[in-house]
Each structure stands twice: as structure tokens, then as C-alpha cells.
Amino acid sequence: MKSKSLSFQLRIFLAMILLILLASVLIAAVTVYQYKEQTIEYNTGRLERKEDAVKSAIHIWLNDSNNSSPIITRNLPFIFKEKIHEISSIHKLEVNIYDLKGTLLKSSYSGFVKNIVPEKLAKSTVKSLAISPLHRLVKLTNVADKKQQSSFTYIADNKFKPIGILNLRYFQDNTTQEKDLEEFLVRMAFVYGLMFIIAIGLAYFISRYITKSLKMVTEKMYLTSLSERNEKIILRNASTEIHTLVNAYNQMIDELEESAEKLAKGEREQAWREMAKQVAHEIKNPLTPMRLTVQSFQRKFDPSHPNIHEKLNEYSQTLIQQIDTLSSIASAFSNFANMPKQQRERLDVVAIVKHSLDIFTEDYISFYPKEKSIIAELDKTQLIRIVTNLVKNAIQALEDKEHKEIEISIYKKENHVIFTVADNGKGISEEVKNRVFEPKFTTKSSGMGLGLPMVKNIVNAYGGDISFTSKENKGTVFTVSLPIK
């Protein structure tokens, strides 16, 4: 999974958990390192203490009254003939004495296996001891899978003149320290396991708390719409960064509302301009034949003509017909532009729809109510308008159809009343489907294209929904959903 696909909350959660794990590993590593350093320091200090004690015992023995041999290098094997074993036993370490050239003179080793004590020291060891500031050298070696410390220092006579090399061999026994370290790590693992469980819970709640404000801002942004009034975000006890983001969002909402108002105003002005053009166009259509009729009557008028009354009657009928057309145009635009206020009342939707269909005499119109009665709070007049406009639209879609069928059904779904008007007409092409509810758009040779926009306005005013499905040369189904209350 790519990191960029992880949510911000999950990233915070994982970061906190990884931080705790890293801290646990680092503390464990430091603890192990510290124990090892303490072990080394302990073994080094212990060897130094044993070395001081052995050197003190050697010095005392060299100056003991029972020692009658001269204190020189070649007499060291005789001087420490038995004493070296006593010193080794008391201090529990191996004691070896070499001459100044590195040749073994005396050793406390008394095992039954082959002596592993070197008979001759390496020249580098003798040289390093000689040039060492404290005339002391310590080496760490592995013998039979055990760590062994070897210290080299000088044995001096009464005048502090070196007469030999003292080698102490000490096997480290770190069993106690390793056991303590193991017990400590087990306890620490238990404590950190418990802390890790607690940390997971804390990380989860902290990450949720941190991202809570961001989620609220995100949800508000998703709901932001240019066509609706947007709510501002009000947060308390949020961080400075979140407050900055919220203030920027609220400022954007103010600017968006101003832009929406300007846009709505511009759209209204554009709509009225288009409406004025449409009204002018529709009025010019009947005015042209009226003008021609009047001009023709004026040019041919003869009071003495025997058929003057018939011609006058024909002239009057032509004018009345065009005047009625102008009146219908005015009524259509008035109904579209100024929808009457809703007068809601409890009514039986099934009965009203059936009553609306009684004005149609076409025998191919069928009504199929799925319920005998559906009670809803609607405006009776507007409901009749919806039904009649949809049915008229369906009838006009069947003009060139030989076998005509229109089916109207109505039913109740949850808290909505739904009715459909289906026809088997020519259908609506894909190119114009998105323009069906536009004012003044029509695919018919006559009409002003205001019927479906008016229906959509009524349905939207109720908070309902109108939609359609259509296939060319197969038919169209309009579906209207209105809330019962």
C-alpha cells in the first residue's frame, strides 16, 4: 500500500505506534550496551584489585625474613617455589612468572592436561610492556569458548628495579550479570508490552481527536454548493492551524455567497431577456396574419358588395382567432413566470388523478392505480396541472404513431406518492435529453416549450423529484415523486 493512500488519522496513529516501538528498541539496546560496559568495567576493576593484592603478597614475601635467597631474576623460581601456589589458591587465579626477556620461570598451573601457559612471551608483548606508561599491559583472549583476561606487570626488588614479569590469567565469569540482564529484559518486555497496549488506545483516541476537526471541515466542504446556502464552521478548543483553515473556509463561504448572488442575478437578468425575446417572437407570429388581414380588408372593402356581411364575418373570425392565440400565449407565460402559491389540503391523490384524466377523450389512455386511495397534503390545482401537462405531452408524442398507448399508474412508496406516465411514442433522442426541462425548448412543430419546465417548478417546490427514461421509437416514461406531507 502506498503511503499517500493512507488517511491522515491512520498516519498519525502509525507514527505514534512506530515512535513507541522505536523508543522501546532503543532503550533495550542502550540497556544491553550499558550492562556490557558495566560487566567489562567490573571485570577490569576486579583484575586490577587482584593484581594489586598479588603484587602486595609478592612484595611481602620477597621481604620476608624466611626468604634468604638474593632477590634476583634467576632466584625467582626458588623464591616462589611453593608460595606461588598459595597465592594462586587464595586469589583464585593463575599466576605465572617470566624473566625480563619473556621466558617462563614459574607457573601456578597444576592441571593434569597439557599446560596451555606459553613458555615464551611474544616479543611484541615484552616490548609493549616496556614502553607502557604504567608498565602494565592487559590482553583479552578466548580460551575454550571462555573469555580470559591476562595482565602483565613487573616484579621489582627492594630498589624498585624490575627483576621479572608477573602474568595473571583470570577467566571471566559473567553468569550472574547475564542472568540479571536476562531477568531485566523480561521485566522490561512485560512493562513495554503493557505500555504498548495502552499506547495503541491512546494513539487511536489522540489521532481521532486531532483529525476530528479536519473531518468536520472535509464534510462541510463536500456539502458546499453554489446553488444552496452553506453553513459556516464553528469550532472551539481547536489548534491554531485548524482555526486558520476554518477561517479560510468561512471566508470562502462568504465570497461564494457573494458570487452566487451575482451569478443568480445575472442568470435572472439573462432569463428575463430570453423570456422577452420569446414573448416578442410568439406575439409576432399572430400579429403578422392580423396585419395582412386588416390590410387586405382595407384594400378590398366595398360596402355595396352583395356578400359584404359574409366577408365581414370572415374577417372578424380571423381576427378573433389570432386574438385568442395571443391570449393563450399571454396565459402560458403568466402561468410559467408567476406560479400561484401552494394551497395544501388533504386530498385523495388517486381520485384527483382520475378526475384529471376525465377531460381526455382518447380511448388509448389507461389508468392503473395500484392502491384504491392515497391521502396526501398537496395543492389540487397544481396536481391537476402536473397530470394534464404530462398526458398532453404524451399525446403529442403519439401524433405519427399508428397503435397508440398511454399508461398512467400511481402508487405509494414509503412517505412519497409516485405516479408515472408512459407512452409508446417516438421517444427522446440522446442529443436533447439534457434539455427537456429547459424553458422554451420543444421538439414539436407547435407550442412554446413551457409545459415540462412548469411541471418541474411545481415538483421542485414540493421538494419532490421528476425524471424520465426514453428510447427512440419505443417510448418515454415520466416519473414524478412527491412527498405525502
Name the band, by pLDDT with cuts 50, 70 and 90, for residue 421. Answer: very high
482 conformational bin, left if phi > 0, alpha if psi -120 to 50, beta if neither: beta
pLDDT band at residue 113 under the 50/70/90 scheme: very low
Q: What is the pLDDT of residue 308?
A: 74
Instruction: Say whether pLDDT at 122 is over 80.
Output: yes
pLDDT at 115 over 60: no
pLDDT of residue 65: 63
pLDDT of residue 410: 93
| Residues in Cβ contact with 396 at an 8 Å cutoff, skipping those fewer than 6 apart | 444, 447
Burial 179-202 (b: 16+ CB within 10 A, else e): eebeeeeeeeeeebeeeeeebeee
Q: Which one, of 476, 448, 478, lies nearest residue 464 by Cα?
A: 478
The string of pLDDT tens digits covering residues 22-76 is 888 888 888 888 887 877 777 777 778 888 888 888 888 887 766 677 888 888 8
Q: How many CB atoms lie within 10 A of CB 236?
A: 6
Task: Walk me through the domains of the chain, giving residue ranges and CATH numbers.
Answer: 3-178 (3.30.450.20), 240-337 (1.10.287), 345-483 (3.30.565.10)
Q: What are the grid coordinates assigned to 13, written together?
A: 496513529
What is the arithmetic mean of pLDDT over 341-348?
A: 79
Rg (CA), the chain: 55
Judge whether residue 202 has pLDDT over 60: yes
* Mean pLDDT value across the chain: 78
What mean pLDDT comes out for the span 229-255? 71
Question: Treating both helix axes as pointing N-terminal to C-terminal, what angle do 240-300 and 308-337 enclose, rounded to 10 degrees?
Answer: 180
Question: Residue 114 pLDDT more than 60?
Answer: no
Place 446 in a pLDDT band, splitting at 50, 70 and 90: very low
For range 369-373, the mean pLDDT: 90
The residues, ordered by sequence, that sit 6+ positions from 127 with a Cβ below 8 Å of its Cβ are none
Residue with cell 627492594: 158
Q: Which of 2-6, 50-54, 137-141, 181-185 has the lowest mean pLDDT?
A: 2-6
* pLDDT at position 1: 42
Split at pLDDT 50, 70, 90, the class of 284 is low
Does 225 have pLDDT greater than 90?
A: no
pLDDT-derived band of residue 428, with 50, 70 and 90 as boundaries?
confident
Rounded to whole angstroms, the Cα distance separating 22 from 3 reads 19
Q: How far apart are CA 162 and CA 448, in angstroms?
A: 128
Give CA–CA dist 94/111, Å, rounded: 11
Per-residue model confidence (pLDDT) at position 363 = 87
* Cβ 451 vs Cβ 389: under 8 Å: yes
Query: What is the mean pLDDT of the segment spanning 240-263?
Result: 74
pLDDT at position 447: 44
Would you place residue 230 in the very low, low, confident or very high pLDDT band (cuts 50, 70, 90)?
A: low
Q: Report the interhelical angle of 175-223 vs 240-300 (nearest 10°).
A: 20
C-beta separation of 416 from 481 below 8 A: yes
Model confidence band, residue 366 (pLDDT cutoffs 50, 70, 90): very high
Percent of the chain with pLDDT over 90: 7
Reported pTM: 0.38
SS (H, E, C) the chain: CCHHHCCHHHHHHHHHHHHHHHHHHHHHHHHHHHHHHHHHHHHHHHHHHHHHHHHHHHHHHHCCCCCCCCCCHHHHHHHCCCHHHHHHHHHCCEEEEECCCCEEEEECCCCCCCCCCCCECCHHHHHHHHHCCCCEEEEEEEECCEEEEEEEEEEECCCCCEEEEEEEEEECCCHHHHHHHHHHHHHHHHHHHHHHHHHHHHHHHHHHHHHHHHHHHHHHHHHCCCCCCCCCCCCCCCCHHHHHHHHHHHHHHHHHHHHHHHHHHHHHHHHHHHHHHHHHHHHHHHHHHHHHHHHHHHHHCCCCCCCHHHHHHHHHHHHHHHHHHHHHHHHHHHHHHCCCCCCCEEEEHHHHHHHHHCCCCCCCEEEEECCCCCEEEECHHHHHHHHHHHHHHHHHCCCCCCCCCEEEEEEEECCEEEEEEEECCCCCCCCCHHHCCCCCCCCCCCCCCCHHHHHHHHHHHCCCEEEEEEECCCEEEEEEEEECC
